[in-house]
Every structure is written in structure tokens, then in C-alpha cells.
């Protein structure tokens, strides 16, 4: 399936300029390179001053770093987006139905489509969610679906992020910066707006409030605190939504109701947009050593007095082993063919797949089933023999923990460098909101770009950058 030549989103397979990029290309030709350099510097200054930073774990020196921002936008045509958004809605809907099923009826397990041990032995499976009748039936209110493309036609889903997907603040800030820096370019294109994301998020969160809450429910955003790598985003979203940004110690539970401590005394909380891992939510139920959570929160949740978005236990649906079953979920729950493709995946837990993977390590990307952020993965073609051997030992020691995929010829998109435009690999993370009243999507998402020539790793923790993503009106 890997195309021989790499598909470039501006230039296609061989230099022919693609429609969506035509206006941008003409404009780029008409401006002097110094102007771009100058605007790039302005952009960096803006990000630094506003303090849009992220923390890198295990790197005391660069405690707070900027995510590099590239000024050349990534552009999708209206038709491309129309197809993508249908596919995203379908996929996230199926994932929500799957979560409701495995925590209630378990039809899909009884139908023999998914091996039960993948659910029950999954570290993210939460028995506390079993049989819980969620008022809204929605488990994943906010999903970030990572997509890559390999040619003109196809997008592949790389992974589903159903726990606490981050990056949406960069999507919004990138747009804001582009509008500020390139008004003349933005003005000659018909770019679909994304600024309403925050309203849609708040609407989604309010829509899942418990039945007992007042007509205008109190929403809070729960953060692990200012040392967390995504803290900037947490404060950004709370600020834009106009809701309190709380830490665990700001909340307490009395008589199975959740309250926050305010300067005017306790105030009832109805909906928690949680950006904390399940493990830390409630020390009485999950990790007892968690100082981040709220004792009694799960009891209040089970009593139906507070909504938590995303629900605890959604991680069972987004690990890399379960990933390979998502197309089956779409067929099973919706009776439709999946619109978005999955990358072919070898599950190392299966003997046949394991021996294939071990024999072909140098051609494959091997990932930990529960890994994220680009940690704990092997990119075969870029790894030394020694690294491969070491990794092989790790896979053999615990094959269930790994999956492998072919190295995709990820598409590239041009970035601005000192030597002019140069192609770099990109992916795309659109954010899909699901409330009681349906699915909401803003056109676009976060484009991440591997800034090192030839590199395929786009994660910000590994030196990736971001771009603004434009979806054009049809």
C-alpha cells in the first residue's frame, strides 16, 4: 500500500500544483522571502510572550518550551473535509456505542467479534463503570482522531485518542496568529472558521449534565495542575469557556454531591471536563496515592449527581490493540462500511503476527499498546541494528503489549526553512465533540509536522511542530 513516491499536499506526486494550494502558491511567489522570515520571527515572539508553552517530561533544562510553529498553512479542500468529517462522525459514534456496550450488554463480546480478554485484561478497563446507566449514554465527549494521508485519495486513522486528547489550543492559537500575521493572505481565501470550537465544547459539556442539575449547569475544567505538560491548554480552554479551572483540592464531595471551594463558600458542580487520567480521579476508587483527585468523586458520579467528560474507562477503546477492531465496531453497531481506513495492524499477541513482526522489524513501526506521545515506539527503517535487537527482546518478553504497522509513506507539506520551502511529514488531529444532541466538528484540526528532514515522528515531545490547518469553503 505504501506509495513509491511520497505524496506532497501542495505538489502532489510530481510537481503538479494541487487546487487547494493554488492561491497560497501564487501568493508565496509574489512576496519576498525576507517578509516570510520577518513574520516567522514575529510569530515566535508572540508565542513566547503569551506564554504558550508546554512542559517536557524528564527535561529539567527546558522546563517550558515553545512548540515550534510553521507559518505555511496546511490546506484541505471542502470536498476532502466533507468526506473526512463524515468518517470521523461515524467512527466516534461507533466508539461511543462500543463503550456503552462493553460496560452494559457486551453484545460485541458475545458475538465473538472482540476477544473478551482484550477488554477485561485491559489496564484501562474500569469495573466501576460496569452497569452504570449514564444519563447521556455518551462516554467520549471529546475525541482527537489522528489521521495521516498517503496519497490524493486516502486518509488513514493512526490512532484514536479517547481519554484526554490535547492540542486544540494550538489549533485555535495557530489560526489567531495566522490572521494577525498574514491578513493579506487570509483575506483572499475562503477559509472556514474554527473559532466556535470553544462554544461547541461548552455546549457539548452542558448537554451531558445530570438530570438533577439546574437549567444552566455549572461546568468546571479539572486539571492536574500547573506542572502538567498541557496546563497552558487547560487554562486557555477554561478561560475561553468562562468556567473555573479547578484542581482536585478545589473540589470536595458531601452526600454524593460535588462542590468547589469558593471565596463565597461551597458551590455545586454539575459537569467536570476532566483532563486528569482516570487513575488519579478518586483515591478511594483508583490509585490511593493520588493527590490530584477528589475522594468520593466516583460515588457522586455513580449516584448520577455529576457528569465527567470523558467518562472514566474510555481508555479501553483507544489502545492500539483495540484500534484494529474499530472497523468491525462500525460494521457491528452501525451496519455501515467504515469511511475512514485503518492502518493494517499486526497484533503481536497473535503467534503468527508475532513471528512476522520479529522477522520484519526493520520495515515496521512497532508501538506499545498503551503508549502515547511517541514514547516507547520503534521506527524500524530509521533504527540501528542494535536498537532493533534490544526492541526485539522487549517485544518477546511481553508480546501482548505490542502491535506493529507498516511504515506508511506519510504525506508531506512544505514548511518554511532558512533555505526556502522544504517538504516535511505531517499528520492531522481533528477534534470530535459528542453531546446528547449529536456530534459537532469544527472544520480542520491540529496539523503536526516533523521538523527534521525525513523524520516521521510528529509528537511535540519529540521535536515536532504545528501548522495552521485551513479547510476551504466549497
Partner 1 sequence: MLSRDADSLYWLSRYVERAENTARILDVAYRMASMPISYNDLETNEWESALITAGGVDEFRATYGEATPENVIEFLAFSEANPSSIQNSFDTARQNARSVRSALTSEMWEAINSAWLDLRRYKARKIKVEDLPKFLNLVKEASLRYDGSAMRTMLRNDAYWFSRLGLYIERADNTARVLDVKYHVLLPQDAPVGGGIDYYQWAAILRSVSALVSYQWVYHQNLRPWLVADLLILREEMPRSLAACYGALSRHLDDLSHRYGTSGAAQRQARATHARLTNRNIEDIFQHGLHEFLQDFLADNNRLSLAISNQYLC
Binding site residues, partner 1, CB under 8 A: 48-51, 225-226, 231, 235, 238-239, 244-247, 249-250, 260-264
When the beta carbons of 185 and 245 are compared against partner 1, the nearer one is 245
Output the smallest distance, CB 84 to partner 1, in A: 32
Q: Which of 460, 369, 428, 413 is nearest to 62 (CA)?
A: 460
Beta strands in 181-289 (DSSP E): 219-222, 244-246, 251-254, 257-262, 265-268, 271-274
Output the smallest distance, CB 164 to partner 1, in A: 19
Output the smallest distance, CB 238 to partner 1, in A: 5
When the beta carbons of 17 and 226 are compared against partner 1, the nearer one is 226
When the beta carbons of 139 and 170 are compared against partner 1, the nearer one is 170
Are the C-beta atoms of residues 208 and 435 closer than 8 Å to each other?
yes
When the beta carbons of 2 and 50 are compared against partner 1, the nearer one is 50
Angle made by CA atoms 356, 357, 363, in degrees to the nearest 5? 110
When the beta carbons of 143 and 260 are compared against partner 1, the nearer one is 260
Output the smallest distance, CB 415 to partner 1, in A: 27
When the beta carbons of 48 and 190 are compared against partner 1, the nearer one is 48
Rg (C-alpha) for the chain, rounded Å, is: 22
Output the smallest distance, CB 294 to partner 1, in A: 14
Output the smallest distance, CB 49 to partner 1, in A: 6
Q: Residue ranges of the alpha helices (H) in 164-318?
A: 168-181, 183-186, 197-207, 231-241, 297-302
When the beta carbons of 13 and 254 are compared against partner 1, the nearer one is 254
Distance CA 222, CA 235 (A): 10
Distance CA 350, CA 344 (A): 14
Q: Which of 110, 102, 153 is nearest to 132 (CA)?
A: 102
When the beta carbons of 52 and 366 are compared against partner 1, the nearer one is 52
Distance CA 292, CA 247 (A): 7
Output the smallest distance, CB 198 to partner 1, in A: 13
Residue 145, H or E segment: strand 142-149
Distance CA 66, CA 64 (A): 7
Distance CA 278, CA 127 (A): 12
Output the smallest distance, CB 70 to partner 1, in A: 23
> Can the peptide bond before residue 462 be classed as cis, meaning omega within 30 degrees of 0?
no
Amino acid at each position: 500500500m505504501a506509495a513509491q513516491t511520497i505524496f506532497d499536499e501542495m505538489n502532489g506526486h510530481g510537481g503538479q500544483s494541487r487546487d487547494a494550494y493554488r492561491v497560497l502558491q501564487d501568493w508565496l511567489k509574489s512576496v519576498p522571502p525576507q517578509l516570510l522570515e520577518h513574520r516567522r520571527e514575529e510569530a515566535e515572539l508572540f508565542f513566547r510572550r503569551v506564554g504558550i508553552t508546554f512542559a517536557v517530561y524528564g527535561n529539567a533544562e527546558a522546563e517550558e518550551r515553545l512548540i515550534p510553529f510553521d507559518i505555511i498553512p496546511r490546506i484541505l479542500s471542502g470536498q476532502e473535509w466533507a468526506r473526512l468529517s463524515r468518517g470521523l462522525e461515524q467512527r466516534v459514534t461507533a466508539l461511543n456505542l462500543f463503550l456503552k456496550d462493553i460496560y452494559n450488554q457486551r453484545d460485541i463480546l458475545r458475538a465473538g467479534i472482540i476477544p473478551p480478554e482484550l477488554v477485561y485484561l485491559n489496564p484501562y478497563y474500569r469495573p466501576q463503570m460496569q452497569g452504570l446507566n449514564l444519563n447521556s449514554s455518551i462516554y467520549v465527549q471529546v475525541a482527537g482522531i489522528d489521521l495521516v494521508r498517503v496519497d490524493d485519495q486516502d486518509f488513514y486513522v493512526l490512532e484514536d485518542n479517547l481519554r484526554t486528547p490535547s492540542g486544540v489550543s494550538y489549533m485555535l492559537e495557530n489560526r489567531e496568529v495566522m490572521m494577525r500575521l498574514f491578513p493579506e493572505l487570509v483575506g483572499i481565501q475562503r477559509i472556514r472558521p474554527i473559532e466556535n470550537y470553544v462554544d461547541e465544547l461548552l455546549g457539548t459539556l452542558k448537554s451531558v449534565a445530570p438530570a438533577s442539575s439546574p437549567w444552566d449547569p455549572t461546568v468546571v475544567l479539572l486539571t492536574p495542575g500547573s506542572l502538567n505538560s498541557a496546563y497552558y491548554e487547560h487554562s486557555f480552554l477554561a478561560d475561553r469557556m468562562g468556567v473555573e479551572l479547578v484542581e482536585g483540592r478545589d473540589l470536595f464531595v458531601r452526600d454524593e454531591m460535588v462542590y468547589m471551594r469558593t471565596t463565597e463558600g461551597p458551590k455545586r458542580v454539575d459537569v467536570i471536563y476532566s483532563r486528569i487520567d482516570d487513575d488519579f480521579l478518586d483515591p478511594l476508587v483508583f490509585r490511593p496515592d493520588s493527590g490530584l483527585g477528589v475522594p468520593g468523586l466516583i460515588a457522586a458520579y455513580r449516584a448520577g449527581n455529576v457528569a465527567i467528560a470523558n467518562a472514566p474507562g474510555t481508555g479501553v477503546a483507544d489502545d492500539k490493540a483495540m484500534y484494529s477492531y474499530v472497523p468491525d465496531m462500525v460494521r457491528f453497531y452501525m451496519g455501515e462500511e467504515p469511511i475512514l481506513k485503518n492502518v493494517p495492524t499486526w497484533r503481536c499477541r497473535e503467534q503468527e503476527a508475532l513471528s512476522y513482526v520479529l522477522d520484519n522489524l526493520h520495515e515496521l513501526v512497532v508501538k506499545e499498546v498503551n503508549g502515547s506521545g511517541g514514547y516507547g515506539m520503534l521506527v524500524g527503517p530509521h533504527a540501528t541494528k542494535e536498537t532493533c535487537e534490544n526492541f526485539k527482546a522487549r517485544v518477546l518478553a511481553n508480546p501482548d503489549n505490542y502491535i506493529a504497522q507498516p511504515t506508511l509513506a506519510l504525506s508531506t507539506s512544505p514548511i518554511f526553512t532558512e533555505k526556502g520551502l522544504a517538504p516535511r511529514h505531517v499528520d492531522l488531529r481533528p477534534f470530535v465533540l459528542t453531546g446528547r444532541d449529536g456530534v459537532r466538528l469544527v472544520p480542520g484540526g491540529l496539523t503536526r509536522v516533523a521538523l527534521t528532514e525525513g523524520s516521521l515522528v510528529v509528537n511535540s515531545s519529540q521535536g515536532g511542530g504545528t501548522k495552521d490547518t485551513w479547510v476551504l469553503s466549497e
